[in-house]
Structure 1
Amino acid sequence: MSTKVMLYVYDLSQGMARSMSLGLMGQQIDAIYHTSVVVFGREFYYGQGIMSAIPETTMHGRPMERIDMGETEIPQEIFMEFMDNMRHTFTAEAYHLLDNNCNNFSNELCNFLVGQPIPSRITSLPADFLNTPLGQTMRPMIEGMFGPSRHTPSPAPSTLGLFGTESAIVNSTHNQSVPSFTSLDALRAVIRNNTAVVVYFTSATCPPCRVIAPVFEELVLSKGENQIKGAKVDLSVAYQIGQAFEVRSTPTFVFYLRGEKFSQFSGANQAELRSSIDLLIYSAHPPHPHSILRLDHYAKLSGVPILFPSLDTVDTVFSKLGTFLQAVKGLDSGAGSEAILNDAETKQLDKIQQWLKKRDISKKNKTQEPTLGELGPTWKPLINKLINTLPYENLFPVLDIMRMLVLHPRISEVYAKDGNLTLVSVFKTVAEKDDAHPGGPLSKAVTLLSLRLACNSFGTPVLSTYMLSPGAARESTKQLLITTLLSPVPQIRQTAASLAFDIGMKLARARDPAPDSTGPTPLTGKDDLDEDWKMECLSAIANAIVQESHVDSSSITPPTLNKDTAAKEREEILYRLVASIANFIYKDDPATGAVLLSVLTLPETLDSLIKEHKVVQSKNVIGLCQEVQEMIRTAAESQGSRV
């Protein structure tokens, strides 16, 4: 079900920019824009952090303009999860007049909801202003208040409130990035509610304070609020706080760990300040035991998901689908009956086929890919109709088509915002059928193609995040994984192991991003996969490793495969399963997963695989097994020492 998205545009200058900008700046500026996004009956905007209100009840009154941004298919629950994630970026402290203001927030929100930015006349205003003589003159002032700007024009910042929100207006008297406190209760709340806090006591008449202040700012802000929280107290203003904390000289630094006083010193000693902050952070956030291990084989694991991108079978898949549709028509009614698909749907199906073929050719020739518009406007409703029309055992051509489609970034976004929960429904149905008839002829092809579709869903950040988002998507993914890992069909087990690897890789990248990445790959929070979910997955993967180590090759090897080929196939399955275990538990805190695997005696299982050399032969697999043993041991011991 779609929801309308509106952009509300306000003029913070109340018309003064339009009438005075040309004379002051030599350039016409129509308004000093503040924007908000109205969706799901609320008006969302960036001020003192992300805020919301009943539309048109904010301090800005009525908007000067209401822009229809289109409609979104994103469910409200997914939207609210996205908003929770955004709150880590758009904090009150992170506000920047030029680079991180209300208009940047509205732009990101509209891109997420409807896939298009807000008007460029709004987002380009900071750069436009900086290109004026007044803007270049004032840039140093703005950067002194908010930090360096990413905009390239030469020096110059602006008057407060010029480009954004009420936070610039409200905070116009504050020129520090680390917050100052005058309320004793507020300061105590910060100390109580944060793991590591450093309080800097200063005064207006203290010359050493002016020397150490910028060093303190740089040290605290460079560490980030997730490591340490900074606070400043001017004793010439908040003398009652000085009395309560028994601080009588400035500068004085007091350090707190989990609400308790950790250390204290007075004076403008930069080296002592730096080492004291580092010691507090180390005590508050000790390095994970995995960080000191040498994990050469784990480091060599691919940082990209295992995908099934082949487009070579397009014509074969559509031919098979046509045969199945004819069979459904024959079963449903006699001669002269209406076709399963009408003319428009038949044309749309042909467009999908031609689009996939064209995309295959463009990839092989490295030419421009077909646009999404060429796919046709009703491709998704047609896919849904085919899923609901065909018998379960004949669904695999449709799943193969979806497997090819979801590799396109824009199509993956469509399925991530799918109010009909198409992927959820498919995976849940397949898991239930496979559980009832494991490896049977009824479900083999459908199960295999569903797993490939699930793997390809990890090919883009937005869809992979959706796959592991709380609720039905995450549960159906887990259900599909657990019911297929123990399949008697080697090909299904291998593809299920690939899915386990993709899930584990997503978790590992969220906790510990690759060195060349711009940051963690977000899920929907710090690590929103609850412990029960992870424990179920880990238990199933560990069980699959045990089963794989005891599989009798002679009982599963098809006549076309010799025993050596079958052994290599089993070793590849084990390699992916062990790799997924490594990704699941690497730097996971708390280390409940490692404790569970220790209880399940997985290290002993891996030890038998290594020493007996009946299944595991490759040095890479042996090395990875040994490293996983060590990861389990060190993490489990660390967890035990905390209890």
Structure 2
Amino acid sequence: MSERVTLFVYDLSHGMARSMSLGIVGRQIDAIYHTSVVVFGREFFYGQGIMSAIPGTTPHGQPMERIDMGETEIPQEVFMEFMDNMRETYTADAYHLLNNNCNNFSSDVCQLLVGKNIPDRITSLPADFLNTPFGQSMRPMIEGMFGPSRHTPSPSPFGPPALAPTSGLSTNPFSAPSASTGGATVPFMTDLSLLRSTIQNNTATVVYFTSATCPPCRVIAPIYDELVLSKGSQIKGVKVDIGMAQAIGQAYEVRSTPTFMFFLRGEKFSQFSGADQAELRSSIDLLIYSAHPAHPHASLSLHQYKGLSGTPIVFNLFDNVDPVFAKLKTFLPAEKGLTEADTKQLDKIQAWLKKRAAAKATQTPEPTMGELGPSWKPLLTKIASILPYENQFPLLDILRMLVLHARVAEVYAKDGNRTLINTFKAVATHGNEGSKPAALMTLRIACNAFSTPLLGTYVLSSTARESTKQLLVTTLLSTVDQQRQTAASLAFDIGVKVAESRSKAKDTAHPSLGGDILEELEEDWNMECLSAIAAAMEKETSEEILHRLVASVANFIYMEEGHSGSVLMNILGVPDVLKEKVQSKVVKSANVVGLCQEVQEMIRTAVEAQSASSS
């Protein structure tokens, strides 16, 4: 189901640019543009990091213009994962008036959602401004505030600071970046309901109440930033300027600054007032200790597990492009064959893949998407409808090579026809023995989906995860060694994504961004995957395949909250299975033996912790 994408355009000068710019800068500037993107019922914008709100309720007031950017087919959960990845680029401290600002963010979002940028009149404003004498005189001051600009002078939105603030949120002079935290600072918050939501949605939260007229706040602010940010995801830190957010100050009865309030699972845990560094440090440590008892895995020495690659296993060979296309053409009967235009398009796909293979080998520029041809995807869909399942393996091999390209992966991540889902389901429908080559190529497609974050998230999103699980479960017990090996690779890739998701800090200050969507994988889904992997390990006699299966289990259960995966593995007898594989010499390599022993320890310590907590 498609979603409408709308660009909200604001004038941060509230008309001053239009009326005064000609006299000040010598050129007519209609507005100091700030933009945001409205999609999925939320308004997304960039200021103190990536923010979101109910459309029209941001600090910028009402937009001067609403631009219809089109419709997107990207699922909401895939978009939220994209937002999560973008937060690494669009951080509060990475804001740059000329290079990395709200309009760059909006353009990137629109490029993903609808494949086009926001209007040039908005993104070209910095170049227009810098090309004026006044802009040239202001350039040293702007670069002194934000760092060197890549413009010489050339694009990136906003006008002179004299006309407008640099972001949608008010800034505070005491939020100077801390050198020891790489320039990052804890964000300010001005909305009472958002603050309450943050406190409720985080296990441990500390709120620093400050004000612009408070000298001790100047001293403690960078120390607060350093302490909070050094704790990573263990604690959520927020700043509130009670001069700008009077409603918050009144609601929490703040009578002096600086004041620090500490919340544990939504309830006030403690508070104190004053710029006491020692008390702040000890209060944060006590809150974290109360909120996050040490995980039993934290005390284990897991050299083999921690030495595992965090890179998904993919199948990226391009050395059989011509034979694959030749084989495909032998399967296309004349009476149901392709039109002349179809044949030309198929030749374009073949030439594009060969050119991409050559570019990778010689490290030269890759072919553009335009060279792939205008109807490559409809043609592949048409061929799939013509061929019986047992003859689809060359077509699937072509798709396996195509999805390694980020732009092709993007097409399939926003595919309304659910091509990959249907492909995965076909293996379960026909059985992995129904067509061994087709099942193998489908597994390779699934593994290659993890080569790009967008498609990797899509195959584990609520839209596709059930078909991904069916593919995995169906093939893990195949009688074909190559299928089991590739299914074990898929299990490993899923485990890598799960472990990566668990290690990411969730942005609970902005619940609409949802953190990492994979945190929301249902427990039942995880348990079914783990059950299938456990059954496969018991029967497996190949050390290489066992290595991938054991590594996938390790990723599923390491530092897992609630220990449900470890408890299941214990119930299914996985520790005994691993012990037997080592004793019978099915597993001989030192690194694999070590990993088996570490997984046994992970399961044992987690089960003991679970038993202790329930007794």
TM-score bin (small chain): 0.7 to 0.9
Aligned partners of 2:163, 2:39: CA distance in 1, in Å?
Answer: 29
| Contact 2:499–2:555 under 8 Å retained in 1 | yes
Match of 1:585 among 557, 573, 577: 557
Query: 1:486 Cα deviation (Å)?
Result: 0.6
Within-5 A mapping of 1:353-432: 353-432=350-429
What residue in structure 2 maps to residue 108 of structure 1?
Answer: 108
Distance between the aligned counterparts of 1:70 and 1:260, measured in 2?
44
C-alpha displacement of 1:453: 1.4
What code does the residue aligned with 1:74 have?
A: I
1:610-625 to structure 2, matched below 5 A, reads 610-613=582-585, 615-625=586-596
CA RMSD of aligned residues (A): 4.2
Kept in 2, the 8 Å contact 1:46–1:105? The answer is yes
String of CA shifts for 1:226-249, please: whole Å, max 9, x gaps: 7233455869x989979987x988
TM-score (norm: length of structure 2) = 0.80
In the alignment, is the contact (CA less than 8 A) between 1:504 and 1:580 conserved in 2? yes
Opposite residue 536 of structure 1, the aligned amino acid is E
Which among 505, 512, 529 is matched to residue 496 of structure 2? Answer: 505
User: Per the alignment, in what secondary structure is the counterpart of residue 118 of structure 1?
Assistant: coil
- Partner SS state of residue 46, structure 1: strand
Alpha-carbon distance in structure 2 between the residues aligned to 1:244 and 1:60: 29
Q: Are 1:122 and 2:157 counterparts?
A: no
* Alpha-carbon contact 1:215-1:270 (below 8 Å) kept: yes
Q: Deviations over 1:461-496 (max 9, x none)?
A: 11111111112x111111000010011111111111
Alignment of 1:214-613 (within 5 A): 214-216=222-224, 218-220=226-228, 223=231, 227-230=235-238, 253-265=260-272, 267-326=274-333, 329=334, 338-434=335-431, 438-439=432-433, 442-471=434-463, 473-512=464-503, 524-525=516-517, 527-549=519-541, 570-613=542-585
- The alpha carbon displacement at 1:507 in A equals 1.6
Q: Is the 8 A contact 1:469 1:524 kept in 2?
A: no
Q: Which letter maps to 1:485?
A: L
Aligned match of 2:509: none
* 8 A contact 1:25–1:132 mirrored in 2: no
Q: Which amino acid aligns with 2:45?
A: Y
Instruction: Report the Cα distance in structure 2 between the residues aligned to 1:43 and 1:203, rounded to whole angstroms.
Output: 30
1:366, 1:152 → 2: CA distance?
Answer: 26
Give the match for residue 334 of structure 1. Answer: none
- Alignment partner, residue 60 of structure 1: 62
Partner of 2:180: none
Q: In the alignment, residue 499 of structure 1 is paired with which amino acid?
A: L
Check 1:289–1:116 CA distance in 2 against 1; reply closer, same or farther (3 A cut): farther
**What is the DSSP-based 3-state SS (H/G/I as helix, E as strand, rest coil) of the residue aligned with 1:325?**
coil
Equivalent residue for 2:204, pick from 196, 201, 216: 196
Identify which range, 310-319 or 376-385, moves more after superposition.
Answer: 310-319
- C-alpha distance 541-186 of structure 1, shift in aligned 2 (>3 A): closer
1: CA distance between counterparts of 2:351 and 2:247? Answer: 76
State the one-letter code of the partner of 1:46: F
Deviations 1:104-155 (A, max 9, x none): 4422321211344334653465687686434654777xx6xxxx6685799x
1:32 touches 1:163 (CA, 8 Å); kept in 2? no
Contact 1:196 1:255 in 2 (8 A): yes
Matches within 5 A, 1:128-139: 132-134=136-138, 136-137=140-141
Deviation at 1:354, TM superposition (A): 1.9
CA deviation after TM superposition for structure 1 residue 11, in Å: 3.6
The residue number in structure 2 matching 1:638 is 609
Q: State the distance in 2 between where 1:102 and 1:52 align.
A: 17
What is the distance in 1 between the residues matched to 2:251 and 2:379?
72
Deviation at 1:60, TM superposition (A): 3.3
* Structure 1 residues 381 and 621, CA gap change in structure 2 (3 angstroms): same
Q: State the distance in 2 between where 1:188 and 1:394 align.
A: 58
Corresponding residue of 1:627: 598
Alignment partner of 1:158 is 2:161:
yes
Is the Cα–Cα contact under 8 Å of residues 9 and 36 in structure 1 kept in the other structure?
yes
Separation in 2, partners of 1:201, 1:355? 58
Report the secondary structure of 2:74's partner residue. Answer: coil
Q: Distance in 2 between matches of 1:311 and 1:204?
A: 61
1:102, CA displacement in angstroms?
Answer: 4.1
Q: 1:190: how far off?
A: 6.3
Structure 1 195/362 Cα, relative in aligned 2: closer, same or farther at 3 Å? Answer: closer
Residue 74 of structure 1: aligned partner: 74
**Does the residue aligned with 1:488 lie in a helix, a strand or coil?**
coil
Q: Is the 8 A contact 1:465 1:523 kept in 2?
A: no
1:467–1:477: 8 Å Cα contact kept in structure 2?
yes
Which whole-Å deviations, capped at 9, do the CAs of 1:544-590 have from their partners, x for residues lacking one?
A: 001115xxxxxxxxxxxxxxxxxxxx111111111111111222223
Structure 2 distance, partners of 1:212, 1:134, is 32
Q: 1:133–1:25: structure 2 CA closer, same or farther, 3 Å change rule?
A: farther
CA distance 1:162–1:527, change in 2 (3 Å) = same
Partners of 2:252 and 2:450 in 1: CA distance: 54
Letter aligned with residue 604 of structure 2: R
Query: CA deviation digits over 1:161-210, x for unaligned, max 9?
Result: 4556xx44xx4899777658898x99877655543233556789876555
Paired letter, 1:535: M
Aligned residues: 579
CA distance in 2, matches of 1:324, 1:203: 74
Q: How far apart are residue 295 of structure 1 and its match?
A: 1.5
Greater relative contact order structure (CA < 8 Å, 6+ sep):
2
Q: Measure how far apart 1:299 and its partner are.
A: 2.3
Report 1:203-214 matches (<5 A): 208=216, 211-214=219-222
Preserved contact between residue 352 and residue 379 of structure 1 (Cα < 8 Å): yes
Query: Are the equivalent residues in 1 in contact too, given 2:17–2:163 (CA < 8 A)?
Result: no
1:46 aligns with 45
Contact 2:425 2:471 in 1 (8 A): yes
Distance 1:491 1:62 in 2: 60
Q: Distance in 2 between matches of 1:138 and 1:449?
A: 54
8 Å CA contact 2:189, 2:238 repeated in 1? no
**Structure-1 separation of matches of 2:227 and 2:33:** 34
Q: 1:275 to 1:25 in 2, by over 3 A?
A: farther
Q: 5+ unaligned residues in a row in structure 1: which ranges?
A: 330-337, 515-521, 550-569
Cα shift at 1:604: 1.3
What percent of counterpart residues are identical?
Answer: 55
Q: Which amino acid letter does the alignment assign opposite residue 325 of structure 1?
A: L
- The alignment partner of 1:527 has SS state of helix
Q: 1:204 to 1:474 in 2, by over 3 A?
A: closer
Structure 2 CA distance for aligned equivalents of residues 153 and 384 of structure 1: 44
TM-fit CA distance, 1:217: 5.0
Q: Is the 8 A contact 1:252 1:267 kept in 2?
A: yes
Q: Please state how far the C-alpha of 1:53 moved relative to its aligned partner.
A: 4.3
- Identify unmatched segments of 5+ residues in structure 2: 153-158, 176-185, 506-513
Please tell me the residue identity of whatever aligns with 2:285. D
